[in-house]
Structure 1
Amino acid sequence: MTTGLATDPTTGPGTALRGGADTPAAPPASPRRRRRTLKRALIATALALGVTAGGGYLWLDSTSEVKVTGAAECTAVTPAGTGSGTGSGTGDRDAVCGVLSSLTSAWGAADADAYGALFTQDATYTTYVGTHYQGRGDITEAHRALFGGFVKGTKLADSVLGIRFLGPDAAVVTSRGDTYTGGRPEELSKVQTYTLAREGDGRWRIAAFQNTQRRPVMEKASFLLSPGTVPGAEK
C-alpha cells in the first residue's frame, strides 16, 4: 500500500524528504552556541560604542579652547570698579599685582612662611579638590607639607582675567592658573579668584582664595546642550 511519502533507505520508511533533498533538516543551534553568538554580538556592539564615544570625547576636547585666556602680566590689566585703583592712578593695582607676584615667587622657592604671610590672619583658602583651609596658620602648614610632597619642585603660572576694586580697600582678581615643571604651559587648567584687602598697616593681603579645576570636555558638552550657558566673552 502506497503512503505518499518518499522514503530514505538509510533512515527507513516514513521519513519525509523536502524539495527532493536526501538529507534531514539541520538541528537547532545548541544553547552554548547561542550564548557564544550573543556574547560576540555584545562585544562587537561595546567596541563600536567605545570607538564612537572615544571619537566624540576627542572631538569635544579638541574644540574646547577658550577665547579669553587673560594677561600674563598682571600690570597690563586695566582695573574696573570703584576705588583708588581706578580713579587715582595705578598704584593700588600695582600693589595688588605685587602680592600675586610675591605669591608666585614664594611658591617657586617652596617657602611656606613667605607664602602664608601674603594672606590675612583669618584668610580662607579652597583648593580645586574642595579642601578648605581656615586661617593663615592652616594655609602655611598645609603648604609646608605640599612643598615637600605633592607639589615639590613645581612653579606657579598665572594669567589675569580681571581686576575689580570694590572700594578703596578691597579688590577681586580672577585669573587662570596652574602648577608646572619645565616650560610654562600654554593652557592653564584652573580658574582662580583672589579677594584682597588693604589692612591697617597699608599692605594688601589675600583674604580669600578659591581654585576651580576647568573640565573642558564637560564644559563644551554643556555649551552644546544649552547654548544659553556660553559666557558672553566666549561667544
Structure 2
Amino acid sequence: MTTAQLQDPATATDAAPAAPPVPRPRSRRRMLKRALTGAALALGLTAGAGYLWLDATSEVKATGSAACTAVTATGAGTGTGTGDRDAVCAVLASLAGAWGAADADAYGALFTQDATYTTYVGTHYQGRGDITEAHRALFGGFVKGTKLADSVLGIRFLGPDAAVVTSRGDTYEGGRPAELSKVQTYTLTRESDGRWRIAAFQNTQRQPVMERASFLLSPGTVPGAEK
C-alpha cells in the first residue's frame, strides 16, 4: 500500500470500521420516558385487575331482611310480645314513605326534637328543624325522585323505651337495587306521647374494596356474621 493510500481513507481497504454514533442526550431521555411509560402502564393494569378482583369478591353474607317485622328483636323487654318491635318497624316504614313522597315535614316529624343526623359524607345535623330543612332542599335537588330501600340487620331493645336498629340501605330510582351500599344505625326512643321517634341516625358508605383488602390482610377483622 502506498503512502498516498494510507493517507486517503477513501482508498484504504483495511481501515478500522467507524465507531457507532453515540446516542444523543435527547435520545436517552426518550428511551427512558418510553421505559417508564411502559412500566407505569403495566403497573396500572395490574392494579386495575387487582381492584376489580377485590370488588368482585367483596360480597357480604349478612344481608338482613327487607321485611322489618320478620326480624326477631333482642334485648331488654323483648319477651312481652312483638308490639314494640312492630311500632319501631312502622317508624322506618313511615320514613321510607315520607322520602318517596318528598315530604320533608313528614320526614322530620319522625325524629325527636333534639335528634342528631349524620350522613355518609360526614355532614352532621342537630335537631328536628335542621333535619327537616336539609331534606326539603335535598328532595328538591340531589335526591329528587328517589326512593329508600333498606334491609334490617337487627333490632335490639336497650330497655322498655329505647331501641337500636341496624340496617343496610340505599336510595334508588326505578327498580330496587340488589345490593345496598350503605349501613345505618337508628337509635329510637318512646316519647311521653307514647310514639316512637328517631333520636339519632348514622349513615356509613360501605367501601367494598377496602373492606375486602382489610379482611385479606388482617383476617381477625372479619365480623362473625361474615365468616
The TM-score normalised by the length of structure 2 is: 0.95
Q: Map of 1:97-176 to 2, 5 A cutoff? A: 97-176=89-168
CA RMSD, 1 decimal: 1.7
The structure 2 residue matched to 1:203, chosen from 189, 195, 198, is 195
Q: CA deviation at 1:87?
A: 1.1
Q: CA deviation at 1:11?
A: 6.4
CA distance in 2 between counterparts of 1:16 and 1:8 reads 11
Indicate the residue corresponding to 1:20 in structure 2. none
- Pairing 1:179–2:171 present: yes
Q: Secondary structure at the match of 1:25?
A: coil
Count of residue correspondences = 223
Q: Secondary structure at the match of 2:9?
A: coil
The structure 2 residue matched to 1:225, chosen from 214, 217, 221, is 217
Indicate the residue corresponding to 2:9 in structure 1. 10
Indicate the residue corresponding to 1:3 in structure 2. none
Q: CA deviation at 1:28?
A: 1.3
The structure 2 residue matched to 1:96, chosen from 88, 97, 102, is 88
Q: Deviations over 1:15-71 (max 9, x none)?
A: 962xxxxx2110211101111101110111111011001000000000000001000
Indicate the residue corresponding to 1:58 in structure 2. 52
* Structure number with higher helix proportion: 2
The TM-score normalised by the length of structure 1 is: 0.91
The percentage of counterpart residues that share the same residue type is: 82
Residues 170 and 124 of structure 1: CA distance in aligned 2, closer, same or farther (over 3 Å):
same
CA distance in 2 between counterparts of 1:233 and 1:208 reads 25
Q: CA deviation at 1:9?
A: 3.9
Q: Secondary structure at the match of 1:212?
A: strand
The structure 2 residue matched to 1:191, chosen from 158, 176, 183, is 183
- Which sections of structure 2, spanning at least 5 residues, go unmatched? 1-5
Segments ≥4 residues shifted beyond 2 Å: none
Letter in 1 for 2:95: L
Indicate the residue corresponding to 2:19 in structure 1. 25
Contact conserved, 2:151 with 2:168, CA < 8 A, in 1? yes
Q: CA deviation at 1:12?
A: 8.7
CA distance in 2 between counterparts of 1:197 and 1:221 reads 37
